[in-house]
């Protein structure tokens, strides 16, 4: 269950950043590079399961495939609601 641990860490990282910024996490943007090891559909499925388990089932996932990018799964941004300036 490599994907489960990875996705949980991804969500926890995004949530920590949202907390630091004083907002509620609304969406996570990720880039899938050549080393991601999974399809967007497969990662989305794991994301939905983990987000629900963490009480964040309203959080959206936006995926950009980058097969020429020499990396795995990267957070490229987050969207918040109610953030402070």
At residue 53 the predicted structure's pLDDT band, cuts being 50, 70 and 90, is very high
Residue 1 has pLDDT above 50, yes or no: no
pLDDT of residue 54: 93
Q: Report all structural domains of the chain as residue ranges with CATH numbers, in order of start.
A: 2-81 (3.30.2320.50)
Kindly report whether the global pTM for this prediction surpasses the value 0.85: yes
Nearest to 7 by CA among 62, 59, 55, 44: 44
- pLDDT (mean) for 10-38: 91
pLDDT of residue 10: 92
At residue 38 the predicted structure's pLDDT band, cuts being 50, 70 and 90, is confident
């Amino acid at each position: 269950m490599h994907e489960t641990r990875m996705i949980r860490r991804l969500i926890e990282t995004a949530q920590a950043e949202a907390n630091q910024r004083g907002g509620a996490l609304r969406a996570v943007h990720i880039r899938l590079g050549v080393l991601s090891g999974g399809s967007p559909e497969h990662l989305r499925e794991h994301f939905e399961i983990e987000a629900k388990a963490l009480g964040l089932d309203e959080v959206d996932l936006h995926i950009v495939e980058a097969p020429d990018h020499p990396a795995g799964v990267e957070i490229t941004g987050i969207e918040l609601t109610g953030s402070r300036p």
